[in-house]
Amino acid sequence: MTFVNEELEKVASILGGEGAASVVQVLAKTKEATDDVIANDSGVKLNSVRKILYKLYDHGLVSCTRFRDEKTGWYVFSWKLQPDQLDAFIRSRKKRTLEKLQTRLNYEKSHSFFICKKCQPVRVTFEEAMDTAFRCSSCDGQLVGAENNGIVEVLSDIVAKLEEELYE
């Protein structure tokens, strides 16, 4: 199996679980196959194979051709991997992740946060703390200022790394 097919298998397993990895393995071996053949060779149920194939198709990782079966008159779909689309898929995911992380970074930079010493996981913004007179809504303890420099630093590093990967 080539490096690209291995990467396709990893992406498929993230999208559709262990069964999706099996589907990609079968398609990598056969180059092109029907859903029946894929189900038989992978050991995954036919309905699951179809769901996986449609999910991979929606992301552009597989393609299909449709033809009519001479005997039954039914349409049959023949599926094959689209390894050339893997890079575009990964780039689009990275861009979406980058946008979300930039939004979170801007939120962290533009807000002051307060925590309750007793209820550590509870972190509120300045505005929320003002609404409760700087009292914890869970235990009625005093809210104190919390630094978020560590979070800002980590987010900044990840954003910088993703920007470097995407735009250089």
The answer to whether residues 108 and 29 touch, using CB atoms and an 8 Å cutoff, is no
Q: The whole model's pTM is what?
A: 0.71
Domain count, the chain: 2
- Looking up residue 27, the CATH number of its domain turns out to be 1.10.10.10
Residue 123 has phi, psi (to 5 degrees) of -130, 125
Query: What domain range includes position 54?
Result: 3-81
> Which pLDDT score is estimated for 17?
82
Average pLDDT, the chain: 89
Name the 3-class secondary structure at 78. strand
